[in-house]
A and B are shown apart, each in its own frame.
Chain A
Amino acid sequence: GAVVSQHPSRVICKSGTSVKIECRSLDFQATTMFWYRQFPKKSLMLMATSNEGSKATYEQGVEKDKFLINHASLTLSTLTVTSAHPEDSSFYICSASVSLSNEQFFGPGTRLTVL
C-alpha cells in the first residue's frame, strides 16, 4: 500500500524558534497533501490543503503566516511552524492523495513540544 512518511517523528524546541516538518509520499506521486493537527484527546483538525506548485488553501482560523506550507514536488510537502510558542505544541499529521483515488494516506505524525 501507499506509504507516507513524516520527519521528524518528534521535536522539542524553545519558544520563538521555527520548526520544519516534512511529509513525503514514498511510493507514489501525491497531487494533493493535507495538514492536520491534533490536541490531546481531541479529533484531527484540518489546517490546510496544498497542491504541488500552488499556494496552500488554509482553513478558517489557521494563520498562513504562522504555518507556512510549501509543496515543492509531487512527493514532498513541508510545514514550518514559525516563531513557535507553547500553545503550538501538538501532534501534526499529514496526508496525501492522488487524483482519481478516493483514499487519503496518512503519515505517522510529528509530535511538537514547544518549551
Chain B
Amino acid sequence: DAKTTQPPSMDCAEGRAANLPCNHSTISGNEYVYWYRQIHSQGPQYIIHGLKNNETNEMASLIITEDRKSSTLILPHATLRDTAVYYCIAARATGKLIFGQGTTLQVKP
C-alpha cells in the first residue's frame, strides 16, 4: 500500500472551510484515496473516498489531482465538532487500511 504524508496539525476558524492536504506520490492505479477521522477516544469515522474523480458527499469534498499524487479534503463549513484527527489512506478496495499519523485539525471559535 502506498504511503501517505500529511501535515501533523492544522487550525481552522469555525464556519470557514478546512482544507486538509495529503501527498500519496507512490499510489498505484488500483488504490483508492480514503479519508477517515477519529474524534478523541472513539473509533474512526468514514468520511469519503475516491479513485480519480473529485467526490462530494454530505460531509466533505475530495479533490484529487490529475496525476493522483495528492489530494485535498475539504470541510466546507467547519464546526467545533469537526475537531479530530484526520487520516488519509491509500488502499485497494476492500483491502486493509494502514493508518499513518494523520492531521490533527483544531477548529477554533
Residue numbers in B under 8 Å from A107 (CB-CB): 43
Question: B interface, by DSSP: helix, strand, loop or mixed?
Answer: loop
Contact A45 B97, beta carbon cutoff 8 Å = no
Closest CB-CB distance, A15 to chain B, in whole Å?
24
Closest CB-CB distance, A8 to chain B, in whole Å?
14
Contact A106 B99, beta carbon cutoff 8 Å = no
From B34, B44, B46, A44 is in contact (CB under 8 Å) with B44
Residue numbers in B under 8 Å from A49 (CB-CB): 96
Please report the C-alpha to C-alpha distance between residue A29 and residue B44 in the assembled complex, in whole angstroms: 20
Question: A interface, by DSSP: helix, strand, loop or mixed?
Answer: strand
How many A residues face the partner with a CB closer than 8 A?
A: 27
Contact B97 A104, beta carbon cutoff 8 Å = yes
Contact B49 A102, beta carbon cutoff 8 Å = yes
Tell me if A74 counts as interface (CB < 8 A to partner B). Answer: no
Tell me if A60 counts as interface (CB < 8 A to partner B). Answer: no
Residue numbers in A under 8 Å from B97 (CB-CB): 34, 46, 95, 104
Residue numbers in A under 8 Å from B43 (CB-CB): 4, 6, 93, 95, 106-109
List A42-89 residues whose CB lies under 8 Å from chain B: 43-46, 49
Contact A108 B99, beta carbon cutoff 8 Å = no
User: Which B residues contact A (CB, under 8 angstroms)?
Assistant: 32, 34, 36, 38, 41-46, 49, 87, 93-94, 96-102
Contacts A46-B98, A109-B42 supplied; 5 other A-B pairs, CB < 8 Å: A32-B94, A36-B99, A43-B99, A93-B44, A107-B43
- Nearest first, the 10 A-B pairs at minimum CB distance are A106-B43, A44-B99, A43-B99, A106-B44, A102-B93, A108-B43, A109-B43, A93-B43, A103-B46, A107-B43
